[in-house]
Structure 1
Amino acid sequence: MFMYVARRLLTAVFILFGASFLIYLLTAASGDPLAELRTLQSANKEALIQQRIDALNLDTPAPLRYFMWLGGVLGCFTGKCDFGSNLAGTPVTQLLSNAIYQTLILVVAATILSILIGVSLGIISALRQYSGLDYTVTFASFLFFSLPSFWIAVLLKEFLAIGFNDFLKNPQVTIPTTLLISLVAGLFWYAASYGKQKTRILLAVFGFVLTAGLIIFVSATEWLLNPFLGIPFMLVLGVLAAVVFTILVSGLRNRRALIAGLAMVVVGLIVYFPIQNLLDQATFLMIVIISVVFIVLGIIAGLLAGGYDKGQGARVGALTGFVMALLIFADRFMQSWGDYITNPRIKGRPIPTANASTPNLNGDFWISGLDTFTHILLPTIALTLISLASYSRYSRASMLEIMNQDYIRTARAKGVSERAVVMKHAFRNALIPLATIIAMDFGAIIGGAAITERIFSFKGMGSLFLDSLAHTDPNPVMGVFLVTGIMALVFNLIADLLYSILDPRVRVKA
């Protein structure tokens, strides 16, 4: 294993060297970095041109300039990183740090959501092949995959930003609109369900009634202006999470695991009120610590609950505990929503259409968190809709192939439960082809999403790369390339190692 990793890393060094050399030469030859200065009419034009030539060593041939740049990069091993400066004289390291932060808050959430939702939908549609659910997921996947990202972004700006902000002035839904939305929801439930016709009709009616009830509740309580969860909603959502996790991890036959999950629901409800004063002084570190405490308590609850497999109980308890922590945090964010939308900087229009934050917004951790959330909401939805389509198709195809294997039929013939067949035998093997795709997508996160960044005015890695390339500014281009190249190579290596973990038949050798 060690020799394999060492060999791959050594190969990566040569790949980065060759690729970066070519990129530098191509960038340097793509235009004139002095073009904007040559058009100046000022008396000191020649002095400005000479100053830029000296600052960027433009009087040195491009191949030699590359090695000068490489020398500064290698200084990172001695703690003196020097990626050079851009045309304006700003250090590239500073530009990269700002761009990486903007990119991470923009792309990470979208990537994680698209993987979780896309893979889940793909697996479920494969298990219900040729059902209404399968056809619905397939149609939605092809629809989202075919839509241009800029078009989705424009629609989101129009309806989820401008339209929603206007709606908040009087958040009341009329009866005809309620009936129309509920009817569409009922039809969706009917199309997405499977089984006998009677069952599908009952689910459609349930979806209609549930949607209508939620809309009436939201309108009557003006929930959009003063949202809340409170004990009742947390109880329902917590119990639902405990049941779902028990089904996925062990099956409902393991009642001890379910008890561990329900115990964490009780713990979350008990600490809900005492923890509010502590959350008034919340920081990001405090949120992390509280989440870890809930996870640890969940593990302890699972071990104490016992049963024939304490590990299953521990996993259910930990997952449910984490969900309860998230519900407590979500409720606290909701408590600050009213203060956020009435802030003079927000002016009652909380969903922005551009930028990563509201300038000069004063507020505590929760206000700042809401501001970040509202700014990344639209781009996250846009990126998620596009990405989850491919994940759902990949996972569906992989799961269908696995479910037709001989060892799956053998497991069923031996009397193994369907949950165990799917979760223990099929799901893990279905992830093997996805390992490369997921790993490479995580590696590409740092590269940004250039189109989405431009539309929503995020100054991320994609925008930095395009702006620098347009101005023939090689140092920022090389900085972006080096960071993204290293991430791509590292996650490519991780993908290969994941193969050996997911599939014991695969061995990595030097």
Structure 2
Amino acid sequence: MRLRDYIIRRLLLLIPVLIGISFITFFLSHMIGDPAAAWLSEKTAGQENIVKEIRKAHHLDDPIIMQYYYYLVDLSKLDLGRTGRNEGGRPVAEALADYFPATLELAIIGMILALLIGIPLGILSAIFKDKIIDHIVRVFALIGVSMPIFWLGLILKYWLSFKLNLLPLDGRLPYTVMPPPTVTGMYTVDALLAGQWDTFFIALKHAILPSFCLALITMAIITRMMRSSMLETMTQDFIRTARAKGLSERVVIMKHALRNALTPTTTVAGLSFGGLLSGAVMTETIFAWPGIGRFSVNAIGSTDFASIMGFALLIVIVYVFSNLVVDILYVYLDPRVKYG
């Protein structure tokens, strides 16, 4: 099967997945409360005529199955509905387009940190098995998967921002710095495209602390996975053959062992990337980061079921595309894997 056919087939499979997720989230969202309340302000909430008009316009008086049918019809037109009063009733797609780049930027920087730190630590831990370096790395990985993000974020903000003044407290940019011209919505990328190096480094400095907190669990998981994969790979026959040929230990590890050990680590990284996006709620709240995490929290608090649905569908799409990228990378990392 060719790569193009494989990608097309996987994208077509996204349709039933989205329908299934929309079905679940739609019915769960309606259990929260009256969806019409999300569109009303405090001044108009008591006016029954306005409530009736809203319910009639959005088919909220119809049976719930018919409401879901109308939702699917709108979804087929890429209409995700309108946000509640917190977002001024604008289209959900527009709100997600505004908030998603901030979270995506955080997740990308976090994943880069997780890979740059987790993979080398896993390799070192495997090479120096049962030595002091291995014990230190394993303790770090254990702490990483056990430490609450909200506690770590507050501690790092206190010491690195408040006490030592090394990194900014919160936000994406200082109020005195103008955002770069919008191309992707990610300040670091847009600043690079515009050649604004000062803005790039300021935006990167703002993103380091929340990105590290967001990626700590992923970093620890990648470290542990890389260690176990390297240990298993180092016992294989082709490694003994490479050593028997007289190859240096560095060549054996970096050229032969590492590539084979990266396959399971790639799976973890791909799945974790979707987790970084969906798990940014706590991090964005602590660091006042205007992303879809905070957007979803506000949507849940105001019973804005259209925004909740849009957030859920967006995360599903990210997970599917992350898995697709991982499957494609498999073929390049391991020639034995074929498209099926």
Identify if the C-alpha distance between structure 1 residues 94 and 37 changes in structure 2 by more than 3 Å, giving closer, same or farther: closer
Q: 1:323 corresponds to which residue?
A: none
Q: 1:416 corresponds to which residue?
A: 247
Q: 2:59 corresponds to which residue?
A: 57
For 1:479 and 1:44, how far apart are their aligned partners in 2? Answer: 28
Identify if the C-alpha distance between structure 1 residues 351 and 41 changes in structure 2 by more than 3 Å, giving closer, same or farther: same
Q: CA deviation at 1:122?
A: 0.2
Contact 1:444 1:487 in 2 (8 A): no
Which of 252, 260, 274 is matched with 1:429 structurally? 260
Which of 156, 162, 173 is matched with 1:357 structurally? 173
Q: Deviations over 1:27-74 (max 9, x none)?
A: 122222345899957796224423542454322333323332332332
Identify if the C-alpha distance between structure 1 residues 162 and 53 changes in structure 2 by more than 3 Å, giving closer, same or farther: same
Tell me the amino acid that sits aligned with residue 32 of structure 1: D
Q: CA deviation at 1:479?
A: 1.3
Q: Percent identity?
A: 37
Unaligned runs of 5+ in 2: 181-195
For 1:459 and 1:374, how far apart are their aligned partners in 2? Answer: 16
| 2:133 counterpart of 1:136 | no
Q: CA deviation at 1:367?
A: 4.4
| Count of matched residue positions in the alignment of Structure 1 and Structure 2 | 320
Which of 81, 93, 99 is matched with 1:84 structurally? 81
Which of 328, 331, 336 is matched with 1:500 structurally? 331
Identify if the C-alpha distance between structure 1 residues 380 and 396 changes in structure 2 by more than 3 Å, giving closer, same or farther: same
Tell me the amino acid that sits aligned with residue 327 of structure 2: D
Q: 2:191 corresponds to which residue?
A: none
For 1:467 and 1:41, how far apart are their aligned partners in 2? Answer: 19
For 2:172 and 2:62, how far apart are their aligned partners in 1? Answer: 39
Tell me the amino acid that sits aligned with residue 83 of structure 2: N
Contact 2:45 2:51 in 1 (8 A): no
Identify if the C-alpha distance between structure 1 residues 54 and 361 changes in structure 2 by more than 3 Å, giving closer, same or farther: farther
Q: Deviations over 1:176-231 (max 9, x none)?
A: xxxxxxxxxxxxxxxxxxxxxxxxxxxxxxxxxxxxxxxxxxxxxxxxxxxxxxxx
Identify if the C-alpha distance between structure 1 residues 39 and 489 changes in structure 2 by more than 3 Å, giving closer, same or farther: closer
For 2:338 and 2:43, how far apart are their aligned partners in 1? Answer: 66
For 1:34 and 1:508, how far apart are their aligned partners in 2? Answer: 47
For 2:61 and 2:176, how far apart are their aligned partners in 1? Answer: 43
Identify if the C-alpha distance between structure 1 residues 466 and 63 changes in structure 2 by more than 3 Å, giving closer, same or farther: farther
For 2:27 and 2:176, how far apart are their aligned partners in 1? Answer: 42
Q: 1:329 corresponds to which residue?
A: none
For 2:91 and 2:321, how far apart are their aligned partners in 1? Answer: 26
Q: CA deviation at 1:477?
A: 1.4
Contact 1:152 1:382 in 2 (8 A): yes
Q: 2:16 corresponds to which residue?
A: 14
Query: What is the SS of the residue equivalent to 1:435?
Result: helix
Identify if the C-alpha distance between structure 1 residues 354 and 64 changes in structure 2 by more than 3 Å, giving closer, same or farther: farther
Q: 1:147 corresponds to which residue?
A: 147
Q: Deviations over 1:319-376 (max 9, x none)?
A: xxxxxxxxxxxxxxxxxxxxxxxxxxxxxxx843233333353598344334423322
Tell me the amino acid that sits aligned with residue 391 of structure 1: I
For 2:38 and 2:93, how far apart are their aligned partners in 1? Answer: 24
| 2:207 counterpart of 1:391 | no
For 1:74 and 1:34, how far apart are their aligned partners in 2? Answer: 22
For 2:324 and 2:105, how far apart are their aligned partners in 1? Answer: 25
Contact 2:170 2:287 in 1 (8 A): yes
Tell me the amino acid that sits aligned with residue 419 of structure 1: R
Q: Deviations over 1:369-393 (max 9, x none)?
A: 3442332232123223332111111
Q: 1:292 corresponds to which residue?
A: none
Listed as ranges, the matches of 1:124-203 within 5 Å are: 124-165=124-165
Identify if the C-alpha distance between structure 1 residues 360 and 49 changes in structure 2 by more than 3 Å, giving closer, same or farther: farther
Tell me the amino acid that sits aligned with residue 101 of structure 1: P
Listed as ranges, the matches of 1:229-244 within 5 Å are: none
For 2:331 and 2:277, how far apart are their aligned partners in 1? Answer: 26
The Cα RMSD (Å) is 2.6
Q: Deviations over 1:135-183 (max 9, x none)?
A: 1111122122211101101101111111023xxxxxxxxxxxxxxxxxx
Contact 2:37 2:303 in 1 (8 A): no
Identify if the C-alpha distance between structure 1 residues 12 and 39 changes in structure 2 by more than 3 Å, giving closer, same or farther: closer
Normalising by structure 2, report the TM-score: 0.84
Q: 1:254 corresponds to which residue?
A: none
For 1:26 and 1:467, how far apart are their aligned partners in 2? Answer: 17
